[in-house]
Amino acid sequence: MPSRSEFLFLFALSLCLCSPFTRADTLKITSTPPGATVEINGVVVGTTPYEEEVPGGYFHKTKTALGRRLQNPMAARIRLAGYTTKEIQMTEGPMNWVSLKGHSHGEYWLLKLKSFHVELDPISKVFTGNITADLPKASDERRDAELAPEPPLEDVIALAKPAVVRLKGLGKSGSGFFVTEKGVIATNAHLVRGEGSLIAILPGGQQLAANIIHIDTDRDIALVKVEGDEFPYLSLGAASNVRQGETVIAIGNPGDAMPFAVTKGIVSAVGKFSAAGPGIWIQTDATINPGNSGGPLLNARGQVIGINTLKLEKKNVSGIGFAISASDLLAVLLKYYPDPLSPGGKQLLSSPDSTAGAKSSPPGQEFGTIELREPKAAEVYVDGKFAGDIPWSSPLAAGKYYVIVVKSLGQADWSKRIYVFASVHTILTPWPE
């Protein structure tokens, strides 16, 4: 027979186990339309409507050492072929659990809601308008461009500034810029993550609701959209055309300073920089402060060559800022806009659905196209980077090998190393019978 002290301990234990802080509860994720793939923290867990039993401690503040606590943040990614992908920041925190005796037992997070719902937007209705891009030039064309006179910087700024916006969320603010005349804005992923929507403030003071339509966390690139037409927008310049030492201009909204401010510098370096993340990075001594994030880094001809992303914060270090290249932004946009225009309005690449079955290229450009049609909603990775969901088609620079990987729930990854030939449209079939 248990002693009195043992009995009191067992009684207290039963109260803890029966409390709402330890009982299991149901987490629900739904979408309109249903049938979308649900991915939580990078792991595919099912399709909408999705339900899972989770410990009650995931929803309630910790009151006892017993029961389970959520020891990491949770984010869900909801995707369906033909619709824009939505991301949900599901948790709040971190919180520090301190016992009644004042001892810290570590950090934990809480789920914000028991039920999350997303409205998925058709791609055809969201990604409207045109993008313009100055793709890599042949050596003779590049020489001609270098010899062409550059306009005065004040004229470049005057033309570019109307296309720059200030973005404000609940707890963050930064910058962005229009990439189409139909209201699509490019910015940084770290600025929009966790935000349901943002406010876009135009240079003239007009405020518009901005909905998040795409997040690429690997490249730290996001796209948001405001409703409207005939917005001024900026042309993108390829990273391969960026020269070390050339003049650059950063436009953005730094801290509590005057909005839509301009700083000037040079390209200090350009290339891979793993400490900042994947992709091509442009290092510059143009001042980039908090609030500049997401704004354009322009060359002296007014083309966007990068998205201002961060500055190096170290003791005895100054004048070092980084922008993710416009080529990385273009790689994101080409998933939705297969027909970029030249700055003069000329079409650069034909549609992937062209009856000719091949892409044409401007002089000096060599591209091929890779297309996958099945299985629907499977993920496509190119050289280890997420490229989109099937159905998927993309132009790739010709004359080199790429590793194409397809990931689908319930199957082993399919992989193929393929050489891309100029002006050839190749349709791949994963897991052929």
Residue with tokens 């299991």: 24
Q: Is the dihedral of CA 312, 308, 78, 90 positive or negative?
A: positive
Cβ atoms of 181 and 230 within 8 Å: the answer is yes
Q: Which residues have CB under 8 Å from 272's CB, separation 6+?
A: 279, 280, 281
Catalytic (active site) residue 293: yes
Which residues does residue 184 pair with via DSSP β-bridges, in sequence order? 225
Q: Per-residue b/e over 87-102, b at no fewer than 16 CB within 10 Å?
A: bbebbebeeebeeeee
CA distance 89 to 418: 37
Catalytic (active site) residue 220: yes
Of the candidates 359, 360, 372, the residue with the CA atom closest to the CA atom of residue 408: 372
List 31, 173, 235, 293, catalytic entry: 293
Q: Which residues have CB under 8 Å from 232's CB, separation 6+?
A: 162, 163, 178, 181
List 134, 216, 220, 389, catalytic entry: 220
Q: Which residues have CB under 8 Å from 433's CB, separation 6+?
A: none
List 190, 240, 354, 423, catalytic entry: 190
Q: Strand pairing of 24-32 and 115-119?
A: parallel
Catalytic (active site) residue 103: no
Of the candidates 363, 425, 424, 416, the residue with the CA atom closest to the CA atom of residue 393: 425
Point out the residues that are catalytic.
190, 220, 293
